[in-house]
Amino acid sequence: MKILVCIKQVPDMESRFKPAASGVWYDESDLAWRMNEYDEYAVEQAVQLREQLGEGCELTVLSIGPDRVGEAIKKALAMGCDRGVHVQDDAAATKDPWQIAAIIAAYAKDQGYDLIFTGMQSQDRGSAQVGVTVAEDLGYACATTLVGFAYDNGTVTAKRELEGGIKGVVKLTTPALVTCQLGLNVPRYPTLPNIMKAKKKEIQSIPVSELLKEEPLAATVSFHPPAKKGGGIVLEGEVGALVDQLMGILKEKTTVLR
């Protein structure tokens, strides 16, 4: 059985984002990078399945981007993936979801993966398109937004998260691709021995030009902060003074303090 998990490296979302000189994406300087949170759940689920199936199962982790994404791949290897694929692309951030999906599909199409895991979306772009588009490109069965996953003998039983806390139960026959929602599992922290072991695992490097033949279908023309709506008061300063200020406001504007 062959499993693929696709991950993205994104900035820490508590960062301050400022437009890059191009004006269409963020400036990458001074950002701390980490694995996209949704993808941590995808990696964990793939590793759990790898453990369930044991010998004869191979789990590959793939990421697209510049050299820095090697760190995210190493983390996935330390979590339990067997081997890594790094699609080298310094301009990955300028590609649209159609192109990113095309790169993954071009890599995966002759590899015979039974199951592909992705995050439901990335924290920075948030298009929620790439996973489903890969499935369409490959002709795989697909379900999105998983908060439950079980695999038995070629059948995935997935629980999809719907609005209002309802879940939809769906069965998929492999080959299949699933996109993972937050809370699907509890992603593990890599242990020191596993981090050391991961250093010996293979990371294959592939230039993006070998995989990408598609033109973009959409263009980002601007990246900017939201228009300030006004009205809201921002309080800054020393804690004691802030508490007094807030108490004053609550007494004046609400009826809950009396």
Partner 1 sequence: MKALLIGEYREGKLLESSYELFGFAQQLGAETALLLVGSDSQLPAFGGTLYLADANQCGEYNPDLHKQLVLDAVQKENPDYVVFLHSSYGWDLAPRVAAKLKVAQVSEAIGLTDGGFEVGCCNAKMRRTVKPTTAKAVITIQAGAFPGLQPGGTPQVQKITASVESNVSFSGYEPAEAKDVDLTRAEVIVTAGRGVGKKENVPVIAALAKALGGELGASRPVVDAGWVEHSHQVGTTGQTVSPKLYIACGVSGAIQHLAGMKKSDFIVAINKDKDAPIGEVADVLVVADVLQFVPALTAKM
Residues 68-127 that bind partner 1 (CB under 8 A): 96-98, 101, 123-127
Does residue 224 touch partner 1 according to CB under 8 A? yes
The beta-carbon contacts of 103-107 under 8 Å, at least 24 apart in sequence, are 103/64, 103/208, 103/211, 103/212, 104/6, 104/62, 104/64, 104/130, 104/134, 105/133, 105/134, 105/137, 105/138, 106/211, 106/212, 106/213, 107/62, 107/206, 107/211
Span near partner 1 by CB under 8 A; candidates 60-68, 189-197, 203-211, 236-244: 236-244
Please state the closest distance from residue 142 (CB atom) to partner 1, in A: 7
Residues 32-61 that bind partner 1 (CB under 8 A): none
Residues 132-151 that bind partner 1 (CB under 8 A): 132-133, 135-137, 141-145
Residues 193-222 that bind partner 1 (CB under 8 A): 216-222
What is the DSSP-derived secondary structure letter of residue 199?
T
Cα dihedral 73→138→146→124 (10° resolution): 50
Please state the closest distance from residue 64 (CB atom) to partner 1, in A: 18
What span, in angstroms and rounded, lies between the C-alpha atoms of 25 and 28?
9
Please state the closest distance from residue 28 (CB atom) to partner 1, in A: 12
Please state the closest distance from residue 44 (CB atom) to partner 1, in A: 12
Residue identified by tokens 């990696």 is 43
Q: Count residues binding partner 1 (CB under 8 A).
A: 80
Span near partner 1 by CB under 8 A; candidates 48-56, 72-80, 153-161, 188-196: 153-161
The answer to whether 46 touches 144, Cβ cutoff 8 Å, is no
What span, in angstroms and rounded, lies between the C-alpha atoms of 242 and 222?
37
Here's the x/- map for partner 1, 167-196, by CB under 8 A: it reads as xxxxxxx--x-----xx--x----------
Span near partner 1 by CB under 8 A; candidates 47-55, 60-68, 75-83, 160-168: 160-168
Classify residue 176 by burial, with Cβ atoms within 10 Å: 0-12, 13-18, 19+: buried
Nearer to partner 1, 21 or 234 (CB): 234
